[in-house]
């Protein structure tokens, strides 16, 4: 079990001294993991998040960051908030500046960094979220999804160790939800501890390493997502339905008697568990690892490799940016690894464009899926044209 980066002990808080928003919450957030908070509206998730970076001071109880009790003097809080960035559910609550770049620069400037460093952080954060061409756009002209991205960029520009996002997927379209989840995978791969709250159990099941559930201000579950969804009574109390993959697996187990575990979490694992394949040949996955220089050097539509539209995907913010800028004919703009494995398991070759820094992550994801599914797929790295 990794060392907890955040810990609360008997945390209690009420807004009006009558109704307890949080009541004796004791929990750990493991370092370097992806943790999801589930619970109905009014469960206390947002209130808890505001305690994690010291915006709210508990009525009783303690918050620890990296084993140290947090202090509420201004310099300690500034240091804490540099390390723990919070993205609000409604981006309008946290966008103050008139233009995108001014807003992203707001936090770093408050840290007292020099302008070159602030500029670098703004560039980096905007490229992560794909808004580098809208840097001078007035914030009130942005769509809701773009404002959400700006709010996230504002948090990323602080270069935090912990990224806390309050319902980050609420109000976003399907593609953006998956882009955001992949971005959080990428950030997590860079060592960030990512915490989100959501009502979307499908997302929680597929994405999270750890689950914490709150109900009426109390912690009602802390553990892995498989264990959480096994507890039917608790789910009922929280008004949640298990994810479809979980339910299908349960039915498969009840009807065929096949073992319930390991639980399949995505389409590849489900397919491998449920269906025997008639095609014995297995395709291969080609990894094209790209980096920033590729954006500068190559003209639009100058394909890195000539690959079939239906058999290619992108994973990672740089690769996605290259795909956008150069109008690469890529079909799978998210879930590229899963669909790559699916294609390969059916005998087709698949190409995944990914960031150079994420090649290792893609390979380990492939290995992990191989372990769960029993597939053996050849992964090769391609040289760029």
Q: Which is nearer to other proteins, 39 or 107 (CB)?
A: 107
Q: Is the dihedral of CA 374, 229, 176, 164 positive or negative?
A: negative
H-type alpha helices, 199-259 = 201-207, 225-230, 232-238, 244-256
> Does residue 371 touch other proteins according to CB under 8 A?
no
> Does residue 137 touch other proteins according to CB under 8 A?
yes
Query: Residues touching other proteins: how many (CB under 8 A)?
Result: 40
Q: Which is nearer to other proteins, 113 or 342 (CB)?
A: 113
Site string for other proteins, 46-85 (x = CB under 8 A): ----x--x-x---------------------xx--xx--x
* Radius of gyration of the CA atoms of the chain, in A: 22
Q: Which is nearer to other proteins, 102 or 303 (CB)?
A: 102
Give me the least distance between CB of 108 and other proteins, in Å please. 9
Residue with tokens 């703004």: 122
Q: How many helices (H) and strands (E) does the chain have?
A: 15, 14
Beta strands in the chain (DSSP E): 4-14, 20-30, 34-38, 60-65, 68-69, 84-87, 162-166, 193-197, 210-215, 218-224, 284-290, 312-315, 350-355, 378-381
Site string for other proteins, 87-106 (x = CB under 8 A): -x-x-xxxxxxxx-xx--xx
> Does residue 170 touch other proteins according to CB under 8 A?
no
Task: Please say whether the beta carbons of 224 and 29 come within 8 A.
Answer: no
Q: Which stretch binds other proteins (CB under 8 A): 24-32, 133-141, 179-187, 204-212?
A: 133-141
Give me the least distance between CB of 104 and other proteins, in Å please. 8
Retrieve residue 305's tokens.
Answer: 């490799």
Q: Which stretch binds other proteins (CB under 8 A): 138-146, 170-178, 200-208, 215-223?
A: 138-146
Retrieve residue 248's tokens.
Answer: 């299908």
Report helix, strand or coil for 308.
coil
Q: Which stretch binds other proteins (CB under 8 A): 63-71, 134-142, 279-287, 325-333?
A: 134-142
Distance CA 226, CA 238 (A): 16
Q: Which is nearer to other proteins, 100 or 268 (CB)?
A: 100
DSSP 8-state class, residue 33:
-
Q: Which is nearer to other proteins, 90 or 346 (CB)?
A: 90
Residues in contact with other proteins by the rule CB under 8 A: 50, 53, 55, 77-78, 81-82, 85-86, 88, 90, 92-99, 101-102, 105-107, 109-111, 115, 118-119, 122, 136-141, 154-155, 158
């Amino acid at each position: 079990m990794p060392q907890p980066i955040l810990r609360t002990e008997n945390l209690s808080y009420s807004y009006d001294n009558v109704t307890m928003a949080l009541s004796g919450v004791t929990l750990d957030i493991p370092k370097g993991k992806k943790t999801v908070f589930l619970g109905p509206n009014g469960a206390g998730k947002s209130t808890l998040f505001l305690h994690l970076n010291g915006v709210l001071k508990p009525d009783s109880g303690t918050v620890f960051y990296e084993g140290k009790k947090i202090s509420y003097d201004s310099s300690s809080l500034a240091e804490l908030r540099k390390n723990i960035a919070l993205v609000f559910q409604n981006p309008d609550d946290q966008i103050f500046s008139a233009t995108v770049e001014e807003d992203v620069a707001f936090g770093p400037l408050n840290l007292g960094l020099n302008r070159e460093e602030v500029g670098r952080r703004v560039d980096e954060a905007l490229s992560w979220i794909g808004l580098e061409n809208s840097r001078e756009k007035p914030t009130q002209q942005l769509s809701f999804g773009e404002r959400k991205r700006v709010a996230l960029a504002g948090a990323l520009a602080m270069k935090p160790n912990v990224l806390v996002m309050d319902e980050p997927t609420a109000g976003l379209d399907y593609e953006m939800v998956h882009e955001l989840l992949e971005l959080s995978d990428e950030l997590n791969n860079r060592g960030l501890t990512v915490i989100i709250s959501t009502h979307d159990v499908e997302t929680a099941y597929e994405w999270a390493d750890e689950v914490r559930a709150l109900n009426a201000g109390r912690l009602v579950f802390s553990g892995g997502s498989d264990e959480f969804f096994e507890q039917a009574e608790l789910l009922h109390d929280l008004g949640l339905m298990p994810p479809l993959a979980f339910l299908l697996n349960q039915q498969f187990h009840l009807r065929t008697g096949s073992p319930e575990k390991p639980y399949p979490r995505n389409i590849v694992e489900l397919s491998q568990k449920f269906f025997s394949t008639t095609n014995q040949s297995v395709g291969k996955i080609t990894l094209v690892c790209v980096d920033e220089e590729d954006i500068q050097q190559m003209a639009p539509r100058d394909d890195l490799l000539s690959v079939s539209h239906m058999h290619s995907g992108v994973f990672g913010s740089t690769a996605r940016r290259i795909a956008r800028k150069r109008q690469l004919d890529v079909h799978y703009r998210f879930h590229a690894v899963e669909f790559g494995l699916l294609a390969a398991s059916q005998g087709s070759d698949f190409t995944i464009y990914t960031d150079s820094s994420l090649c290792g992550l893609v390979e380990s994801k492939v290995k992990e899926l191989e372990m769960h599914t029993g597939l053996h797929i050849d992964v090769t790295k391609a040289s760029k044209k």
